[in-house]
Chain A
């Protein structure tokens, strides 16, 4: 079946440090990949996405590249801020060979990021 594995957390960094959160996946069809962010007490916000191999998604200084050869979609940011403290979820949506997607997302287990001043 479809699954997403994220690096175990929590991750604690100092402000301006480099961030990497690893994400790998297995998919039964053609995957689209997403990173969502969840701030305390809030819903899930789409951070970035990539819909085909070698696509790079980017937003707010975060980047992730869809690597088909390594089935990975690692999240990176060159200089984190205190305001980036949140839970980050990697997610997968699969489209079958006929181009049909039921739309459901399969999430990784989430990585808690805490950034200290």
Chain B
């Protein structure tokens, strides 16, 4: 069965650079979520989209922005990267917010 696809799997950036993470949801899933998991930490909710509109917002820094496109894939844009942004970034998708969802394998971002 198709899963949630995230790209790239690994990314190394320098401080103050920008990064773009991509998420391709399971076909027909209309809701996408982004989470950030720091080293040894629990995942923290960043932002979610339903039908291409932002549906909820968590602890997402102002330096980050995200959107969901017409094909339902989503991109997380991160600017002015800081060392503390080094983390695993997970995307998940669901068919509306009331159904269980599936996580992707994550993008490991390292800021040096």
Which residues in A have some Cβ–Cβ distance to B below 8 Å?
Answer: 34, 36, 42-46, 49, 89, 95, 99-110
Contact = CB atoms under 8 A, between A and B. Distances in A.
Interface in B14-41: 31, 33, 35, 41
A104 B45 contact: yes
Nearest to B6: A43
A106 B41 CA distance: 13
A43 B106 contact: yes
A109 to B, nearest CB: 5
Contacts of A101: 97-98
Nearest to B35: A105
B20 to A, nearest CB: 19
Given A95-B98, A102-B48, A104-B48, A42 B42 contact: no
A109 B41 CA distance: 6
Nearest to A46: B100
Contacts of A105: 33, 35, 43, 45
A104 B58 contact: yes
B53 to A, nearest CB: 12
Contacts, number: 56
Contacts of A46: 100, 102
Given A49-B100, A102-B48, A107 B55 contact: no
A103 B94 contact: yes
B75 to A, nearest CB: 18
13 contacts: A34-B100, A44-B103, A95-B98, A99-B98, A100-B98, A102-B48, A102-B55, A102-B97, A103-B97, A104-B48, A106-B45, A109-B41, A109-B42
Contacts of A109: 41-42
Nearest to A109: B42
B38 to A, nearest CB: 11
Contacts of B92: 44
